[in-house]
Amino acid sequence: MKTFSQSLAAFLLLGLLLAAPAQAQRKGRTNTVANPDGSLAATAGTPARPARLQPLFGGLTPAQATQVIGEAQLKAIVASFASAAEASSFFATKGFDYLRENKPDTAVYRFNLAWLLNPQNAEAYRGLGVVASAQPTADASISLLAKGLTLAPSNVQLMSDLGASHLIRYGQTKKKKDLTTGLELLQRATTLDPANAVAWQQLARGLYYQEKYAEAWAAVHKGQALSISSLDFDLITELLAKLPDPQGTFK
């Protein structure tokens, strides 16, 4: 059975319309840990990953990251677009395309390019945060998504993704601050976008953690009414053990 954090990580990806579950993205990464800035630190006996395949080039400055790509190469890339900002948007979109194809390394490189071309592109941080959600801890994901939300404070997807990441960390550490923050973000997200089915399921998880089982069921059904595919059946099983479904849909 999936752990709470694995289940929520999968929902974080689902909320971004990504086909691959978080567990699949864990392949090949079990010997690395994430730094708070989103970069990956190799453990003993494990070779370091190339900077271009680490979120934000492993913590490099834009000037240092430019040397990794090559200044001439970067100029050639920009020359194909009307502006660096347009190029950044293009590569962020491509990054999400590669995530849908379950190619996280290729996606990271595209998101890194998007960030390098425009450090104010919140979608670059969102994409890197999604990739980081597959790591053993949620620290890197939270850091990256929080940076994105700072740049785009009304972005509902970032809001709900960050809320889900805080719930992932709460499931691991049981720190109440993460539960409180996660619930606040998800409540804001569902208020601003009541049609966000996955955010309703994530909110249900937070309410379950608070032992507000009737409210959790209500959130589950709101998400279900919007999209059957949003349902978290692990959560439903856990809820049934605490309180029968008031609507009698799940038994």
Q: Report yes or no on 95 lying in a domain.
A: yes
> In this predicted structure, what is the pLDDT of residue 19?
29
212 has pLDDT over 60:
yes
Q: Report yes or no on 237 lying in a domain.
A: no
Reported as a single tens digit per residue, the pLDDT across 6-62 is: 555 555 554 554 323 232 222 333 333 434 444 344 444 445 789 999 999 999 999
Q: Report yes or no on 194 lying in a domain.
A: no
DSSP, collapsed to helix, strand or coil, labels residue 183 as helix
- Domains in the chain, number: 1
CB burial readout 76-109, b (16+ within 10 A) else e: ebbeeeeebeebbbbbbebbbebbeebbbbbbbb
8 A C-beta contact, residue 134 and residue 104 = yes
Taking the CA atoms of 76, 82, 88 and 91 in sequence, report the sign of the dihedral they define.
negative
Q: Report yes or no on 34 lying in a domain.
A: yes
8 A C-beta contact, residue 22 and residue 10 = yes
Q: Report yes or no on 102 lying in a domain.
A: yes
226 has pLDDT over 80:
yes
Reported as a single tens digit per residue, the pLDDT across 138-149 is: 999 999 999 999
Helix 62-69 and helix 71-79, axial crossing angle in degrees, nearest 10: 90
Q: Report yes or no on 195 lying in a domain.
A: no
Reported as a single tens digit per residue, the pLDDT across 157-200 is: 999 999 999 999 999 999 999 999 999 999 999 999 999 999 99
Q: Report yes or no on 227 lying in a domain.
A: no
Percent of the chain with pLDDT over 90: 79
Q: Which domain holds residue 117?
A: 18-155
What integer best gives the mean pLDDT of the chain? 85
Distances from the Cα of 202 to the Cα of 35, 88, 191, 216, angstroms: 25, 30, 14, 10
Reported as a single tens digit per residue, the pLDDT across 232-241 is: 999 999 999 9
Mean pLDDT throughout 202-218?
Answer: 98
Q: Report yes or no on 222 lying in a domain.
A: no
> In this predicted structure, what is the pLDDT of residue 15?
54
